[in-house]
Chain A
Amino acid sequence: MLEKALTGSRRYWVWIFFLLAVIGTGFICYLRQFDYGLGITGMSRDVSWGFYISQFTFLVGVAASAVMLVIPYYLHDYKTFGKVVILGEFLAVSAVTMCILFIFVDLGQPMRVLNVILYPTPNSILFWDMIVLNGYLFLNIVIGWTTLGADRKGVPPPGWVKPLIYLSIPWAISIHTVTAFLYAGLPGRHFWLTAVMAARFLASAFASGPALLIILCLIVRKVSKFDPGKEAVQALGKIVTYAMFANVFLLGLEFFTAFYSQIPGHMHPFEYLYVGLEGHGKLVPLMWISSIFAVVALIMLVNPNMRKKESALAFACVTVFISLWIDKGFGLVVGGFVPNPFEGVTEYWPTLPEALITLGVWAIGFLILSILYKVAVTVREETSSWPSLH
């Protein structure tokens, strides 16, 4: 089926070569980082994780969100999602690949990455994260490819894929829970030491992932003859709405615990992020943009008349995605390191090479996504005249 990605319109190839150029730029910067060391980034002794690990954390959520399509379609036989479920699975493949790459570019000694397998250490959450991420990647590639291949031949998917699909449901939950545990189990990092971390991660994942998927569905409909369906987009819109409310609610719980208890260690990271601490507040404007976008998105999403207009829904989804990207793809990781263990404030801001490497990894993700979507869309265009088999 992969050959379908090798033929396309001029617009398709311009897009592919644009991505390749971004990847190339990122790769050159990575070679520089590989030579010089991670000092090329904005990270420091005090803020020892930055953009790379934040992107990884955010994208685990995007990957996990495929389950929001798999559950209704396969467990509740919600046929409306029949056409989009493959888009969700392929989005998961692309997102998990980015996650793995972001961990890789964050390593100080990337040539030793196999030490994680050579010296397996079950007490380390990172060990489990490696297992669940790779497992999830494998599951989604196999499930997505097999079901699409069956579709193409006009036959139902083979029986053996069903157990894998069921397995992928708890597995999706596990990738984001384990990722939350990377943070939530560390003593002395007040911002992360919270039992609702995994729940908050899942809520934000189920908002940001489907929001991105809605945008992708609308793009796919525009650039191809394949229509994922108005009803499917609307159903996804409802999922985004509920999940975004849950996410804002959980964030509110964090604020309550910190500011009603008034324990300084719990308040300081929130103060740093939203009003600044000891005269430092590089992230304050971003965090407020995130908050305002969240409110705007919720007002638009909760109003059914607005949500039903696809242009308004698309706008709301873009604001949800940006809001959550700032919150989780930036603020969450940095906030955990400020203040430092000595109650001092060291700020973090990514450097240009760091930003270009980050963009390069995103471009690899989008390249994988574009190729997989091209295959899926072409297969669907060819079979769209056939009656549904599911």
Chain B
Amino acid sequence: MSINRREFLKLAGFSTVMGLTGSSVVDELLKTKAEASQVLVDEKALSAKRWAMVIDTSKFKTEEDYKSVIQACHSIHNVPDIGNPKDEVKWIWTDTYEHTFPGQENEYIPEGIKHKPFLLLCNHCYNPPCVRVCPTKATFKRKDGIVMMDQHRCIGCRFCMAACPFGARSFNWRDPRPFIKETNPEYPTRTKGVVEKCTFCFERLARGLKPACVEKSNGGLIFGDLSDPKSEVRKVLSAHYTIRRKPEIGTQPSVYYIIGTGGNENA
């Protein structure tokens, strides 16, 4: 059978279209591709339905208490220290009560609280606006409640930064690598032009370790599964009155604060 040029082109075009679309349909039906999360699960890995953190502010007393926690996070995650507020990248940091809980301040709160630093980090919201606005799913919520970043997919549009009511996100305004004092080879560095933030140490949880800040906090940071009534976070939450940042916005932060000066109320 001979075919003319026109028929050949038609056939070639059809085959190409089938090749492009058909193979992925077959893949989907046979589930030949593994999901990233299904690869190599460590037996010791910690898992949860919804990871959460309680910050017991009374346990943080000296400058050193904050520093060691922040240092632990920033050093293992290769967070650069650029040294100016304009280009600043930070995952966990401190600010005053007034700035941490805007709208909840009053003139007469104890001096010990007014001037006390409060730790700030990504709230890993149950209903995260950053995930809602991301146009590429580069930021997404995992099944365990962690709000993750895929730094290889992020196009750097910074819609998530506009959407985050907590200022938790940093953008790499320039190449961060020259500003990393000592690079940790076990964690990827980032490139310019992508957004980053705290990930609740997903990489440590996968190896059975608690987040780095929790480990260094001497009990000031309590971490666990919010959906498990027997977890440590739930015990702490039922024993203490806690507040969250900007609850009226409805994002449902997974970071709770116990407000206390640490015995210095009368000082």
Contact = CB atoms under 8 A, between A and B. Distances in A.
A34 B179 CA distance: 19
Contact of A187 (B135, B173, B191, B249): B249
Contacts of B249: 187-188
Interface in B164-196: 164-167, 170-175, 191-195
Contacts of A116: 135-136, 155
Interface stretch (B62-70, B81-89, B109-117, B235-243): B81-89
Nearest to A106: B157
Interface stretch (A38-46, A73-81, A216-224): A38-46
A160 interface: no
A113 B155 contact: yes
B212 interface: no
Query: Which among B136, B170, B246 has the greatest number of chain A C-beta atoms within 10 A?
Result: B136
A342 B167 contact: yes
A109 B155 contact: yes
A115 interface: yes
Given A38-B171, A187-B251, A124 B133 contact: yes
At the interface, is chain A mostly helix, strand, loop or mixed? loop
Contacts of A44: 85-87, 173
Contact of B129 (A106, A108, A187): A187
Contacts of B170: 45
Interface stretch (B19-27, B98-106, B226-234): B98-106
A336 interface: yes
A341 B246 CA distance: 10
B164 A336 contact: no
Interface in A148-200: 182-183, 185-189
A322 interface: no
B136 A37 contact: no
A257 interface: no
B251 A342 contact: no
A359 B194 CA distance: 25
Contact of B136 (A103, A119, A189): A119
Contact of A46 (B155, B163, B167): B167
B153 interface: yes
A188 B166 CA distance: 8
Contact of A121 (B129, B135, B165): B135
B109 to A, nearest CB: 16
Contacts of B173: 37-39, 43-44
Contact of A39 (B163, B174, B250): B174
A188 B174 CA distance: 27
A342 B101 CA distance: 8
Interface string A349-379: 0000000000000000000000000000000
A115 B250 contact: no
A127 interface: yes
B260 interface: no
Contact of B135 (A126, A337, A344): A126
B162 A340 contact: no
Nearest to A344: B99
A49 B163 CA distance: 12
Nearest to B133: A124
A341 B165 contact: yes
B158 A48 contact: yes
A194 to B, nearest CB: 15
B129 A342 contact: no
B133 A39 contact: no
A106 B155 CA distance: 10
Nearest to B245: A341
Contact of A124 (B102, B159, B161, B165): B159
Interface of B: 85-89, 95, 98-100, 102-103, 129, 132-138, 153-159, 161-167, 170-175, 191-195, 246, 249-251
Name the 7 nearest CB pairs between A and B, nearest first. Answer: A108-B156, A188-B165, A108-B193, A39-B173, A37-B192, A341-B167, A342-B99
Given A116-B155, A124-B133, 7 more contacts: A45-B167, A45-B171, A48-B158, A123-B132, A125-B133, A188-B129, A189-B165
Interface of A: 36-39, 43-46, 48-49, 103, 106-110, 112-113, 115-116, 118-119, 121, 123-127, 130, 182-183, 185-189, 264-265, 336-337, 340-344, 346
